[in-house]
Amino acid sequence: MQINYPINPDWTTEELIDVVEFYNQVALANEGGVDREVFMDAYRAYKQIVTSKSEEKQLNAAHDEQTGYSTYRTVQAALKSNSKIVKL
């Protein structure tokens, strides 16, 4: 499946890499599980780039539509989990 991740043309190459890595972690969590600390590190990097709640909602809605995975539900599962692995 080819996915067109939502991006902001103003992001640097490093920021693009961090955002794509976060979305990859969301996919991994939904496809079998991912280390919670790795996921949270990717989420923190993502939040350093996407600081606006409205931009975050727009980007996540576009991502969710493309992939069928709920970014919000995945983040919430990671935040609430005490487990080492995040899996939906």
Q: Would you write out the chain's pLDDT as a tens digit for each of its 88 residues? A: 677 888 889 999 999 999 999 999 999 999 999 999 999 999 999 999 999 999 999 999 999 999 999 999 999 999 998 899 999 8
Run of H or E including 76: helix 71-80
Output the pLDDT for position 1: 60
Task: Specify the pTM.
Answer: 0.92
- Looking at the 3D structure of the chain, how many domains does it have? 1
66: in domain: yes
- How many whole angstroms separate alpha carbon 85 and alpha carbon 66? 24
1: in domain: no
Domain of residue 24: give its range. Answer: 13-86
Output the pLDDT for position 2: 75
- How many whole angstroms separate alpha carbon 5 and alpha carbon 63? 6
Q: Can you give the CATH number for the domain in which 18 is found?
A: 1.10.220.80
DSSP for 36-63, please give it: HHHHHHHHHHHHHH---HHHHHHHHHHH
